[in-house]
Structure 1
């Protein structure tokens, strides 16, 4: 399972949203709002490359970075990791936890009911 830190995930989010970007573009899009300097952003890029989450490509004389991991694959991996660590891999206790500790809107309840109905129809 690929472990991406919260700071690294901000780099990934920019790349998932915008596509391949240069280091300078990542500094502007991610670094500046976080008050991170160029060195910090480049360190995060290098860490992600070592983890094989990013690849660099030369294009028009500039190095651009693009994700090797899709957002969907990352979210699935992180979600499963959370589920495994905190709820022994079971979905029902996770949903129960949020229902007990966070007010669910009527829209949330309706979406959960639709999801359960869709899952029941799939059997």
Structure 2
């Protein structure tokens, strides 16, 4: 899997949220200034080449749907982040957040209990 550019990720966020969509639906969900129809089409072709989306033709238009789940991409990004900034150690990452008071130990313990038995 490859990391998405900011623009590609913005488009994927719409697709993950809305489900199968046409280009005009994507454009409607993007912030101002709205990109051109052809620009979004180009990014969708790139996303298709990267294996993130597939398309189905309806008349003269294509509808796009995700091939990669948002949770799978998030896991991929987080593993890269932990590897790049915390020597591959999740413990180092949490230690950093606790030391910098971005996460208190009580909250960490509550989250640990809450998600202990859940499957990824």
TM-score by length of 1: 0.78
SS in 2 for 1:35: coil
Equivalence for 2:34: 36
String of CA shifts for 1:71-114, please: whole Å, max 9, x gaps: 11101111111111111211011111122334336873343442
Equivalence for 2:7: 7
- Specify whether residues 10 and 108 from structure 1 end up closer, same or farther in structure 2 by C-alpha distance, changes over 3 A only: farther
Equivalent positions of 1:1-123 (< 5 A) are 1-30=1-30, 33-38=31-36, 39-59=38-58, 62-104=61-103, 108-114=107-113, 118=116
Number of corresponding residues: 116
In 1, are the aligned partners of 2:56 and 2:63 still within 8 Å (CA)? yes
Q: Which has the higher helix share?
A: 1
In 1, are the aligned partners of 2:98 and 2:105 still within 8 Å (CA)? no
- Specify whether residues 107 and 49 from structure 1 end up closer, same or farther in structure 2 by C-alpha distance, changes over 3 A only: farther
Structure 1 window deviating more from structure 2 (13-22 vs 42-51): it is 42-51
Quick one: distance in 2 between partners of 1:43 and 1:20? 17
Quote the RMSD (CA, aligned, Å).
2.4
Quick one: distance in 1 between partners of 2:46 and 2:98? 37
Quick one: distance in 2 between partners of 1:107 and 1:57? 49
